Structure 1
Amino acid sequence: MLNSQPNAEARRLDALHKLNLLDTPSSEAFDRITRMAASLFKLPIAAISLSDANRQWFKSRVGVEHDSIPRLRAPCGQIADSSDVLVIPDLAQDDYYRDSLLAAQGIRYYAGAPLTTNDGHCLGAMCVLGTEPRDTAPEELSALCDLAGMVMAQIELQHALGRVDAVSGLPNRHQYIEDFHDLQLDAGDNEQRLAVLLNLATPDQLNHAARAMKSTYLDELVTEGARWLREEIGRGQRIYHVATAQFMLLSPPGRTLAEWLPKVEARMQRAQIIARTHHVATPSAGVVPFEVHHDDALSVLRKARSAAFDAMARPSHVAVYSHEEDALYQRRFNLLNDFSAALTSRDQLRLVFQPRICVATDACLGAEALLRWNHPTLGAVSPGEFIPIVERSGLAQATTAWVLDAALRQQHTWRQAGMALQVSVNVSAANLSEDGFADSVHACLARHHLPPDCLELEITESAIMEEPLKAHATLADIAALGVGLAIDDFGTGYSSLSYLQKMPADVVKIDQSFIRDLEHGARQQALVKAMITLSQDLGHRVVAEGVESEAVLAFLRDAGCDEAQGYLFAAPMEAPAFAAYLRW
């Protein structure tokens, strides 16, 4: 995974720097807490220490002359790394700290409690120090943690952007987090609650409105949504404005999902009517049952958002949090993050090759290059799982570039061994809208000293339809290079016949959904035969995908199909196995 320690430290430092505390004058609000710490412990030294990248800077200090020390071997730096309380009864007896700067200055005792933000970033420590070894009573540590909490409350008071949203007039995300923490302190053992997140509009609706509507549209949507919620929920319950167009509320104790869910669904029906009447918006609601002492504020908020997004596809526009669906979404998200690293690794990604066979002669005319991923911890990840995720992400262009380079490198190796055939590579919608894609294909061919006709690019109709004008211009440039073009998954798009006329394609590949079990369906046979005839009449060669039986092959031969691809001939093979297949 990508949650590495260096990234965590970068986020921690970013949280510290955003507060603008470093190198600022001391204030009585902080000095009062520091003096209280020294007095409670009856020690000469106390400090509010903030851990920067290479130093410990003191926002407030008692008994310390300098305002900073190096972070190396500083106990407060260890707290910043661990976010845990640290007590060192005697630095002179500690293997790690006996040679530290503090020990050299005569410090023998140290105790520190972490200064932690609501987002979990440790800024530094509230610490006390002494020149003699000593023990620490539990009540002293408890008091030190309370003082650290007072420091963070003061920091938040000075630097948080208030606790009430200016547009909705409702408590904001900061207040939700604080109230949730208070709820955990007051709740009984095993207390169950419900959280409901209302999403006023889908992400696409908000994006389109931002481009097409007046600038006050979102403010009006939020203001009316907040007003409606206050009327629906009443004065006795707090509503939080936790994101741009999202509101959160927590159930009173004792409410059950069976009791609350019908009420949420009824209110969402009314919300749909209002949204359709006054705004171009589709509200949705996510409901999360949670155990107060088991879940934290941000975890409940994330789960509620996940459920609200699932609700967008439900007729009621309400969904209860599903651990299974959430786990699937998180897996997709993690796979996408991990795939970025896979693109730069040497041993995770590889290509396999499936032969394309001449129906009339049984000769192998080419191969389709297919991407495979061996994840370092998950093992083999199905291409059906990771490729759709990657194609919808910002990694689509880099992935095609990787596949294209690897396929042409292998093509060069085969040609040096006397094996001349065409290799097909799949191209995504992102490539067709990419400026200079045809130039990058030409450059890759030149880099591997290969002729253009050794390569074929496969494009789906749906990919072309995302940006038709741009896609057709790109395809025309590629065709002008002499590179082959194939319409992949033919028959599954929305405008198959029109695209047959417009695309500068050489090949049409009939989708495997039409080919499997072809021998058992007369209507399906008639449809496939019509596809073959029409495509050939328009000047295209036809490839049938997913051929798995001799009966299907016999039908395709009688129908005049040009090529076939499928498990009847061979499964996708590693490069050495494919070379052996050709020689055999």
Structure 2
Amino acid sequence: MTPGELSEARRLDALHKLNLLDTPPSAAFDRITRMAASMFRLPIAAISLTDADRQWFKSRVGVEHDSIPRLRAPCGQVAESSTVLVIPDLLQDDYFRDSVLAASGIRYYAGAPLTTTDGHCLGAMCVLGTEPRDTTPEELTALCDLAGMVMAQIELQHALGRVDAVSGLPNRNQFIDDFHDLQRDAGEGEQRLAVLVNLATHNQLAHAARAMKSSYLDELVTEGARWLRAEIGSGPRIYHVATAQFMLLSPAGETLDSWLPRVERKMQAALAIARTRYVATPSAGVVPFDVGHDDSLAVLRKARSAAHDAIDLPTHVAVYSQDEDALYQRRFSLLGDFGAALEGAGQLRLVYQPRINVVSGACVGAEALLRWEHPTLGAVGPAEFIPLIERSGLAQATTAWVLDAALRQQCAWRRDGLALQVSVNVSAANLVEPAFAASVAACLERYDLPADCLELEITESAIMEQPVKAHATLAQIAALGVGLAIDDFGTGYSSLAYLQKMPADVVKIDQSFIRDLAGDPRQQALVTAMITLSQELGHRVVAEGVETAPVLDFLRRAGCDEVQGYLFARPLEAEAFAGYSCPISTSALRVPKLTAPPRTTAVLPE
């Protein structure tokens, strides 16, 4: 679906939710159309709603039929553009001279958009005449005012009220209207502050909805509103803008220096109440804005962003940061773009980093790493995009892409005489996927590869998210004959019971334990224990992040089975890896050119 199609679908959804189409006449709307015809001294006026294929008239003066086709209807263009449209003479307009209106004798048209607070244009408040005419600026202003009256009536009649039923406070719609009034009435260049108070985190609300009685959230909101009214007093107006979120605007003349300390004191009091009476963590986001320049919804979004940032701060209050906001928007944009990268071609690829056997010095495999070349941003590092993917609904599709690409590359290497084992890192989402083991078997069958050529890498934290389902999936995979490896060992739970239950062949010690190993006796003792315990439980041990010869020498003496890192090679393109020759040659370890069939490890993160 293109952006235009998506926008139109959302507009139609907003229109249909209001239940206005094909409803009986209403005196309230008829008064507005009569007023429009009278003010313009024209025979025809209508409140026109743009459906998928027709213009339907909620109210009309001087028109017999209640709808016309949308094709070449001026009101349809108003709905598409959300702007005022004036056609002095339809017969002189190249596009509209062949329209139904022109054929029926209409020569003049003027329409103002009927726009919801969410920015969806429902149709137009329009006036029409049988003779060409000009339009004055005063008439256009009046027509827009009439359109505003129509939208106010729509909101009133369709339960888009102004007061929240639970908190008793003005709601989001009222905040938007009051913000617009502030922009109109305030002085040029005036600055204000917006403060959003968030009563609880998203996870806390979700857990409460599952564990507590249905009235719990209502009680939290009612108590929060009561507390805010008591603390704020008769000063700024408080708005209930979302389920557990409240917004207020500072009076004129307040600054960050004067208001921020008060907000921080109030939040400390709110935290004390929440900790004793509710499972909730309040936070507040503060946004300075210029009256007349900043949009109400933009201020609301920025305040929510700041309130989210405040959760981890000692004061639980954060001032909006443009840099943090830009970073968050970049992440959100990257996540959206990654879906297209999975479906298209040329953006994603795998690169390979050699794995070295410590005893023989042979290159025995490679870790394949996912890389992304964004069409406009260029290379996006895995440390930036992989965590986003693993927390999103794209994790399963990404694993499928990497698995397919790694096995396809394995086939190519086998045709050149290299029989390679491939290991793909899987996420927590894969371990709870009902048909994951079956999809792995299908991929192996598609490329006519044996099960023992594949190894899957799993992090400890991924297993512990839902251990029962994860262990069931791992048992199914092991039954296929596919190898299993524990990735990033030492950064998660790392319990002996966990190691004992896990049907793994390999333990990979995380690079955070390896990089500064040479000069840290305590770290050396810890890594030695990891290696010994893992091997005694029947696992091979791989050390990641080896960058210096002293670290390599220590790992050899400690009995580590395999190593990898920049000491040997940075990640290589597939073609370069096939001809790789290890540059390290010492008295303790001599590594020849790739001679043995290597084992390739394909993983998502670096």
- Normalising by structure 1, we get a TM-score of 0.96
AA paired with 1:119?
A: D
Residue 313 of structure 2 corresponds to: 314
Alignment of 1:109-188 (within 5 A): 109-188=108-187
CA displacement at 1:427 relative to structure 2: 0.7
Alignment of 1:57-136 (within 5 A): 57-136=56-135
Residue 213 of structure 1 corresponds to: 212
Cα displacement string for residues 4-31 of structure 1 (whole angstroms, at most 9, x for unaligned residues): 1111111111111111111112222112
SS at match of 2:205: helix
Cα displacement string for residues 93-134 of structure 1 (whole angstroms, at most 9, x for unaligned residues): 222222222222232221111111111111111111222222
SS at match of 1:520: coil
Alignment of 1:306-455 (within 5 A): 306-455=305-454
Cα displacement string for residues 208-261 of structure 1 (whole angstroms, at most 9, x for unaligned residues): 222222222111111111111111111243211111111111111111111111
Cα displacement string for residues 282-321 of structure 1 (whole angstroms, at most 9, x for unaligned residues): 2111111111211122111111111111111111111111
Residue 45 of structure 1 corresponds to: 44
CA displacement at 1:3 relative to structure 2: 8.2
* Whole-Å separation in 1 of the counterparts to 2:198 and 2:491: 34
* Whole-Å separation in 2 of the counterparts to 1:258 and 1:17: 47
SS at match of 1:581: coil
**Is residue 35 from structure 1 mapped to residue 34 from structure 2 by the alignment?**
yes
* Whole-Å separation in 1 of the counterparts to 2:495 and 2:98: 76
Residue 463 of structure 2 corresponds to: 464
1:370–1:425: 8 Å Cα contact kept in structure 2? Answer: no
SS at match of 2:280: coil
Residue 274 of structure 1 corresponds to: 273
* Whole-Å separation in 2 of the counterparts to 1:531 and 1:46: 82
1:200–1:225: 8 Å Cα contact kept in structure 2? Answer: yes
- Normalising by structure 2, we get a TM-score of 0.93
* Whole-Å separation in 2 of the counterparts to 1:267 and 1:517: 45
Residue 511 of structure 2 corresponds to: 512
* Whole-Å separation in 2 of the counterparts to 1:46 and 1:579: 76
Residue 548 of structure 1 corresponds to: 547
**Is residue 202 from structure 1 mapped to residue 205 from structure 2 by the alignment?**
no
Residue 23 of structure 2 corresponds to: 24
Q: Count matched residues.
A: 583
AA paired with 2:456?
A: L
CA displacement at 1:391 relative to structure 2: 0.4
* Whole-Å separation in 2 of the counterparts to 1:489 and 1:446: 29
CA displacement at 1:496 relative to structure 2: 4.1
CA displacement at 1:146 relative to structure 2: 0.9
* Whole-Å separation in 2 of the counterparts to 1:379 and 1:420: 33
SS at match of 1:347: coil
Residue 251 of structure 1 corresponds to: 250
SS at match of 2:522: helix
* Whole-Å separation in 2 of the counterparts to 1:503 and 1:357: 24
* Whole-Å separation in 2 of the counterparts to 1:533 and 1:132: 95
* Whole-Å separation in 1 of the counterparts to 2:194 and 2:326: 19
SS at match of 1:386: helix
CA displacement at 1:352 relative to structure 2: 1.8
* Whole-Å separation in 2 of the counterparts to 1:278 and 1:410: 58
When structure 1 is superposed on structure 2, of 512-521 and 215-224 the one drifting more is 512-521
* Whole-Å separation in 2 of the counterparts to 1:385 and 1:407: 22
Unmatched runs of 5 consecutive residues or more in structure 2:
582-592, 595-606
SS at match of 1:519: coil
CA displacement at 1:51 relative to structure 2: 0.9
AA paired with 1:148?
A: A
**Is residue 539 from structure 1 mapped to residue 538 from structure 2 by the alignment?**
yes
1:287–1:320: 8 Å Cα contact kept in structure 2? Answer: yes
Residue 262 of structure 2 corresponds to: 263
CA displacement at 1:398 relative to structure 2: 1.6
* Whole-Å separation in 1 of the counterparts to 2:235 and 2:495: 58
1:365–1:421: 8 Å Cα contact kept in structure 2? Answer: no
1:268–1:283: 8 Å Cα contact kept in structure 2? Answer: yes
* Whole-Å separation in 2 of the counterparts to 1:160 and 1:329: 34
When structure 1 is superposed on structure 2, of 7-16 and 333-342 the one drifting more is 333-342
AA paired with 2:58?
A: K
SS at match of 1:281: coil
* Whole-Å separation in 2 of the counterparts to 1:262 and 1:517: 43
AA paired with 1:517?
A: D
* Whole-Å separation in 2 of the counterparts to 1:560 and 1:295: 63
* Whole-Å separation in 1 of the counterparts to 2:288 and 2:387: 32
CA displacement at 1:438 relative to structure 2: 1.6
Unmatched runs of 5 consecutive residues or more in structure 1:
none
